[in-house]
Structure 1
Amino acid sequence: MIDGISIYSFYRYEDISMLIGSKYSIFGSRVLKILSKKASEYFFNSHNISLWEQAKIYGIAIDDCVRSHYSHTAVILREFCKHSFRPSYGALKAKNMVHYAGKSLLYRQSNPRNFIYTKKFDNVFIVDDIITTGTTIKEAKKTVEKNGSNVLFAIVLCDAKS
């Protein structure tokens, strides 16, 4: 739980660090697609999705702009929206292109992403690849809710929190 929303994660970072690290290479989209497909199948098999199908829930990926040939968060979002959710690509963009990999909590808090949310849906969920400190999810949630959407939950592929 972060700021009152459930965060669903599916892998431990230490178990898939080599695989998730492939997001920086051209073949990483294929690896992320496989990991995301398995995670989304598990998610939808363990939850009653018939209730959600009527709610028109949109998925938004954290900063899904294309870098290094594709957007890794868009790949994850696409797999989770094959069931009953609707994707909204390009809805949540970072103005600050800071990289958090390997950085401390203090660094993350001192260098916010400064998101811009360009859509307005009643109900959304947020997608990211890794949760470490929760800073990015908190900032994304705050931005989305400030602009009138209700964040129901977040999905991340793996959890690196220790």
Structure 2
Amino acid sequence: MRCLMCESLSLEHICPSCQNIFLAPSLYRRKIIHNIEVISFYKYSEIKDLLHTKHTDLGYYIYTILAKNSLAKFAAEFDYSHKVVSIAVDDHVKSGYSHTAILNKALKSKYIKPLYAKLRATNRVTYSGKSREFRILNPRAFELKDFNGSDVILVDDIITTNSTLTQAIQAVHGKERNILFCVTLADASLK
């Protein structure tokens, strides 16, 4: 096949050379509700076209590559006093896979145990491209299923207005769990 970026022959959808050049992650941090830190690895504008593949067959491969280059590297360097769990925000399967589950799986390490199907939205409305007002008027109504562990890392693909992560944080806090921080692939507020 051909690399989506440089069109050279490649065994992956994005060749290793382009991954090194264009998908080298950075660390961006911002605080949201309850002073919880959100760690992102890319500016949204840098990988916007790649992120838009998430509900296509190609998206599975692209998200796997992005997760390998960012979240997996982060997890390999993550050190903590005890094992913690990571939970994907609404890892509901759509288009044959869950993009947030792919990201969550990449966090598996000595100190991080990914959990699946634990935080699901009961309102299936999509926030993609919607205004802050729309998001406020149409809450996701997250339901948190029980799990072992008290320290949690929340995982999502993009942070834009904070509304999805804020609602997810409130659901987790409602079950008296401690959120260490959140991780996202991209932050839309970065220029």
Same fold by TM (over 0.5)?
yes
The secondary structure found in structure 2 opposite 1:34 is helix
Distance 1:42 1:68 in 2: 27
The match for 1:9 among 36, 40, 60 is 40
- Cα deviation for residue 66 of structure 1 reads 0.7
Deviations 1:12-68 (A, max 9, x none): 1111111111111112111101111111244246x5x33x1x422100001101111
Q: Counterparts of 1:63-142 in structure 2 under 5 Å?
A: 63-82=90-109, 84-120=111-147, 121-142=149-170
Alignment RMSD (CA, Å): 1.5
Deviations 1:81-125 (A, max 9, x none): 245300110000100001111111111111100000002421001
* Structure 1 unmatched runs, 5+: none
**Does the 8 A contact of 2:36 with 2:180 survive in 1?**
yes
Number of equivalences:
158
**Does the 8 A contact of 2:85 with 2:113 survive in 1?**
yes
**Does the 8 A contact of 2:75 with 2:109 survive in 1?**
no
Distance 2:106 2:72 in 1: 9
Select the structure that is richer in helix. 1
The secondary structure found in structure 1 opposite 2:106 is helix
TM-score after normalising by structure 2: 0.78
Structure 1 runs, 4 residues or longer, greater than 3 Å off: none
The secondary structure found in structure 1 opposite 2:85 is strand
TM-score after normalising by structure 1: 0.92
* Structure 2 unmatched runs, 5+: 1-30
The match for 1:34 among 30, 49, 65 is 65
In our comparison, the structure showing a higher alpha carbon Rg is 2
Single out whichever of 136-145 and 118-127 deviates more from structure 2. 118-127
The secondary structure found in structure 1 opposite 2:181 is strand
The secondary structure found in structure 2 opposite 1:155 is strand
Larger RCO (alpha carbons 8 Å, 6+ apart):
1
Distance 1:41 1:88 in 2: 15
- Name the structure 2 match of 1:149: 177
